[in-house]
C-alpha cells in the first residue's frame, strides 16, 4: 500500500493505545506519510486526549464517559472535532473515513467498539480479547459479510497469526499459548488469600493496564486467550494448550502433522505485534522486539490448574457455548472490580465466576442485543454473589 493508511485508535490513552501511537510516530519518522491518525478515543481522561489532539491536529476525538458540559474547559480552545457520551465512538466513526481501527479499549466495552469499527467498513486490529469472548460469532459474521480483516494484536494470537499464515493451516494440528504464570506462580497456596490489588497488578514481565495485569495473576487472562485462540483460529478446544513460560520470549507454538513444534520468539514488547497489525498485509519494517538468544535460558512447565481455577473454568465455558464464555468474562470483570475495592479476596475471584457459570445459560447469542443481555445477567448474578460473600 503506497498511500497513507488512515488509522483510528480506540482506547488511545491506555497501554495499547499509547504504544500504537509510538509505532505510528516511529513509522512516520522512518517513512513520512506511512500512517495518519484520524480518530482517537478515551473513556474519561479528557486531559490526555487534549494533549493527543495537539500531537494529531487532524484527528477527531471521542470521550465516552464524559458529557460535553463538564469537559468544555479542557477542550474548548482546540479547533478539533470532539464527541462526548456513550455514543461518542459511533459519532466519531460517522465523521471520518479510515482504513484500520485499533481496538485498545479495556474490558467488555470493547465489544461494541469492534462492532462499530466493522460497521464503518474498517479492518480491525484487535487487542480487546473480550470482543472475541463475548460475541465472536457476530463479529465474524459482520467481517465476513463485508470482506474485512481481523488482525490479532494480543501477543500470543499475533504470534499464531504469523505461524499459521507462514506454515499453512492445513499442516497444523495443535496450538500452544504461553503464559508467564504471573507474579504468584510459586507462592505457597496459603499465602494467596493475603494478596492485595497492588501486588496483583504488578506483572513480572509486561507493563499493561490494571485489569489485564490482575487477570494475568489469576490466569483469567490466559483463560480469555484460550477462548480467543479457539475462535480466531477455528481449532477444537482440546487441541489448544497452555504452557507456563516465565521469560515470555516464546509467545506461541504450533505443532505440524509431522509432530514438529514451531515456536514464535521475540523480546516481550507489544510494539512488535502492534506494528505488524498496523502494516498488515504489508511486511513491517523491523523496529521492535529483536531477540538475541545467546545466553538466554528458557523454562517451560505445565500450568497448575488447582492453583489457577480460572483456566479450568475457561475450558468448561468453552465446551458449552458463546453465552457461557460471555458470562465468564462478565463475572470475572465484576469479581476483579470487587477485589480492587477490597470487597472480596484474591482467591474469591474464581469462586464468583464458578458460581455465575453454574446458572442456566441455555440462551441464544443470535444478535448483538442478546450478547449485551447475557453480559448484564451475568453481572447481576456475580454482583449478587459478591454481596453474599464480601468481607
Binding site for Mg ion (CB under 5 A): 154-156
Q: How many Å is the Cα radius of gyration of the chain?
A: 21
Interface region with ligand NDP, contact rule CB under 6 A, candidates 71-79, 99-107, 135-143, 352-360:
99-107
Which positions ≥6 away from 358 have C-beta within 8 Å?
A: none
Q: Are 37 and 21 in contact (CB under 8 A)?
A: yes
Smallest gap from Cβ 101 to ligand NDP, in A, equals 13
Smallest gap from Cβ 92 to Mg ion, in A, equals 27
Smallest gap from Cβ 152 to Mg ion, in A, equals 9
Which of 7, 15, 115, 275 binds ligand NDP (CB under 6 A)? It is 15
Q: Between β-strands 250-256 and 261-265, what pairing exists: parallel, antiparallel or unpaired?
A: antiparallel
DSSP classification of residue 305:
T
Sheet harboring 240-244: ordered strands across?
Answer: 240-244, 172-179, 250-256, 261-265
Say whether residue 17 binds ligand NDP (CB under 6 A). yes
Alpha-helical regions (H) of 298-348 = 309-319, 322-340
Among Mg ion, ligand NDP, none, residue 45 binds (CB under 5-8 Å by kind): ligand NDP
Say whether residue 208 binds ligand NDP (CB under 6 A). yes
Cell numbers 487534549: residue: 50
DSSP secondary structure of 171-208: GEEEEEEEE---TTTTS-GGGGGG--HHHHT--SS---
Which of 64, 148, 344, 371 binds ligand NDP (CB under 6 A)? It is 64
Say whether residue 382 binds ligand NDP (CB under 6 A). no
Work out the burial of residue 186: count CB atoms within 10 Å of its CB; fewer than 13 is exposed, 13-18 middle, 19 or more buried.
exposed
Residue in 149, 152, 171 with CA at minimum distance from that of residue 160: 152
Which of 52, 98, 100, 105 binds ligand NDP (CB under 6 A)? It is 105
Which of 5, 7, 8, 11 binds ligand NDP (CB under 6 A)? It is 11
Largest CA distance in the chain: 64
Which of 154, 228, 269, 322 binds ligand NDP (CB under 6 A)? It is 154
Interface region with ligand NDP, contact rule CB under 6 A, candidates 122-130, 164-172, 258-266, 332-340:
122-130
Which of 206, 291, 304, 354 binds ligand NDP (CB under 6 A)? It is 206
Report which residue's Cβ sits closest to ligand NDP: 14
Say whether residue 246 binds ligand NDP (CB under 6 A). no
Report which residue's Cβ sits closest to Mg ion: 154
CB atoms within 10 A of CB 230: 22
β-pair partners for 84:
63
User: Dihedrals φ, ψ of 38, to 5°?
Assistant: -110, -10
Q: How many residues bind ligand NDP (CB under 6 A)?
A: 27
Interface region with ligand NDP, contact rule CB under 6 A, candidates 6-14, 20-28, 77-85, 305-313:
6-14
Residue in 78, 82, 31, 26 with CA at minimum distance from that of residue 57: 78
Which of 5, 21, 43, 253 binds ligand NDP (CB under 6 A)? It is 43
Smallest gap from Cβ 257 to ligand NDP, in A, equals 30
Alpha-helical regions (H) of 147-287 = 155-167, 197-200, 210-218, 220-232, 271-279
Say whether residue 309 binds ligand NDP (CB under 6 A). no
Smallest gap from Cβ 29 to ligand NDP, in A, equals 23
Which of 7, 8, 16, 75 binds ligand NDP (CB under 6 A)? It is 16
What is the contact surface with ligand NDP in residues (CB under 6 A)?
A: 11-17, 42-45, 64, 104-106, 109-110, 127-130, 154, 206, 208-209, 212, 270
Amino acid at each position: 500500500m503506497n498511500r497513507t493508511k488512515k488509522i483510528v485508535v480506540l482506547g488511545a490513552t491506555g497501554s495499547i493505545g499509547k504504544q500504537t501511537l509510538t509505532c505510528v510516530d516511529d513509522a512516520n519518522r522512518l517513512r513520512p506519510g506511512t500512517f495518519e491518525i484520524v480518530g482517537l478515543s478515551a473513556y474519561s481522561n479528557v486531559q490526555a486526549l487534549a494533549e493527543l489532539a495537539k500531537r494529531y491536529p487532524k484527528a477527531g476525538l471521542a470521550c465516552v464517559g464524559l458529557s460535553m458540559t463538564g469537559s468544555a474547559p479542557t477542550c474548548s480552545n482546540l479547533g478539533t472535532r470532539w464527541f462526548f457520551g456513550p455514543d461518542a465512538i459511533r459519532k466519531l466513526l460517522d465523521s471520518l473515513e479510515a482504513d484500520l481501527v485499533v481496538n485498545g479499549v479495556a474490558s467488555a466495552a470493547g465489544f461494541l467498539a469492534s462492532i462499530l469499527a466493522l460497521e464503518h467498513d474498517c479492518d480491525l486490529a484487535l487487542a480487546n480479547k473480550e470482543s472475541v469472548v463475548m460475541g465472536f460469532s457476530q463479529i465474524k459474521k459482520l467481517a465476513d459479510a463485508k470482506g474485512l480483516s481481523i488482525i490479532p494484536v494480543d501477543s500470543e494470537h499475533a504470534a499464531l497469526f504469523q505461524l499459521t499464515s507462514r506454515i499453512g493451516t492445513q499442516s497444523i494440528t495443535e496450538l500452544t499459548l504461553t503464559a508467564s504464570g504471573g507474579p504468584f506462580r510459586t507462592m505457597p497456596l496459603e499465602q494467596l488469600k493475603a494478596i492485595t490489588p497492588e501486588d496483583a497488578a504488578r506483572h513480572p514481565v509486561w507493563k499493561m493496564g490494571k485489569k489485564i495485569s490482575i487477570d494475568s495473576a489469576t490466569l483469567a487472562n490466559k483463560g480469555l486467550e484460550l477462548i480467543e485462540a479457539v475462535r480466531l483460529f477455528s481449532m477444537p478446544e482440546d487441541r489448544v494448550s497452555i504452557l507456563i513460560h516465565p521469560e515470555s520470549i516464546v509467545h506461541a507454538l504450533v505443532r505440524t502433522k509431522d509432530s514438529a513444534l514451531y515456536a514464535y520468539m521475540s523480546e516481550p514488547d507489544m510494539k512488535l505485534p502492534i506494528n505488524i497489525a498496523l502494516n498488515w498485509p504489508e511486511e513491517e519494517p523491523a523496529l521492535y522486539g529483536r531477540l538475541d538468544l545467546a545466553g538466554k535460558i528458557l523454562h517451560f512447565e505445565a500450568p497448575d490448574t488447582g492453583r489457577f481455577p480460572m483456566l479450568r473454568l475457561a475450558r468448561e465455558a468453552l465446551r458449552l457455548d458463546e453465552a457461557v464464555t460471555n458470562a465468564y468474562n462478565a463475572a470475572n470483570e465484576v469479581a476483579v472490580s470487587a477485589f480492587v475495592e477490597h470487597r472480596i479476596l484474591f482467591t474469591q475471584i474464581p469462586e464468583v465466576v464458578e458460581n455465575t457459570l453454574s446458572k442456566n445459560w441455555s440462551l441464544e447469542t443470535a444478535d448483538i442485543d442478546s450478547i449485551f443481555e447475557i453480559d448484564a445477567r451475568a453481572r447481576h448474578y456475580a454482583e449478587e454473589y459478591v454481596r453474599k460473600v464480601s468481607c
